[in-house]
Amino acid sequence: MKPIHAFVLAIAFTLTASCSKEPSTEATAVRADPSQHAAAAVKPGSHEDWCGEHEVPESMCTRCNPSLIAAFKATNDWCAEHSLPESQCLKCNPDLKIVRPPAGQ
Ligand SMILES: [Zn+2]
Ligand SMILES: [Zn+2]
């Protein structure tokens, strides 16, 4: 009779969660130019309601105001790939034109 060997298989799954790539923050400091951004009191949809930095209405600028993101997601107007409202995502919609309302209204 041959001796019976008990094999204990210990399978260790080592999760290599070491791929936290951070976008290289370039030397350019985030310069928030107040002249490019609308004041909080402006009327949404007006000429003054404009984010010159991101070329969208300031009242709809998720990059300046991340708290707006939930509302866009709720209406399915959200591009998860680019973290932008689909209606503002020029990468997905190259023909998209977001036009600033004319002044003097
Ligand atoms: Zn903005
Ligand atoms: Zn997109």
Q: Is-above-0.85 flag for pTM?
A: no
User: Helix, strand or coil for residue 79?
Assistant: strand
Alpha-carbon separation of residue 85 from 31, 39, 45, 62, 96 (angstroms): 23, 22, 17, 8, 12
Q: What is the pLDDT of residues 37-80, one digit of tens each?
A: 998 889 999 999 999 999 999 999 999 999 999 999 999 999 99
Which residues on adjacent β-strands are paired with residue 56?
Answer: 51
pLDDT in tens, 79-99: 999 999 999 999 999 999 999
Q: How far is the CA of 42 from the centre of ligand 2 (A)?
A: 28
Ligand number nearest CA of 49 is 1
Number of the ligand closest to the Cα of 37: 1
Tens of pLDDT, residues 5-25: 654 434 333 333 445 555 554
* pLDDT tens digits, 68-82: 999 999 999 999 999
